[in-house]
Amino acid sequence: MYRKTLLAVLTLTFMSGCVAGPDLTESDYCILATPIWLSSEDILTPQTARAILSHNETWEALCG
C-alpha cells in the first residue's frame, strides 16, 4: 500500500513540474541562451556535434 501511494505522489509531482512555470518567449530564450563555442582542444562525438549544431541553429533563428 505504501509503495502505491508513494508512486502516485511521485508521478503527480513529476507531471506537475512539466506544466507549472512561467511562459517563456523568444526574448526570454535569447537572454538565457547563448551559442556554444568550441576550442581547438575539444573532442566531439558525432552526436554531440549534432546537438551543438542544432542548439546554435535554434539560437540563430530566434535571436540572430
- Is the pTM value of this prediction over 0.85? no
- Phi first, then psi, for residue 36 (nearest 5°) are -95, 125
C-alpha cell recorded at residue 23: 511562459
**CA nearest to 33, candidates 4, 7, 62, 1:** 62
When divided into structural domains, the chain yields a total of 1
Inside any domain, residue 49: yes
CA-CA distance, 11 to 49, in Å (whole number)? Answer: 34
Inside any domain, residue 64: yes
Inside any domain, residue 8: no
Inside any domain, residue 63: yes
Inside any domain, residue 16: no
Inside any domain, residue 45: yes
C-alpha cell recorded at residue 28: 526570454
Inside any domain, residue 11: no
Its domain, for residue 62, covers 23-64
pLDDT 10s per residue in the chain (64 long)?
A: 677 787 777 676 666 555 545 565 656 778 888 999 999 999 999 999 999 999 999 999 988 8
CA-CA distance, 45 to 59, in Å (whole number)? Answer: 21
Q: What is the pLDDT of residue 36?
A: 93
Q: What is the pLDDT of residue 5?
A: 80
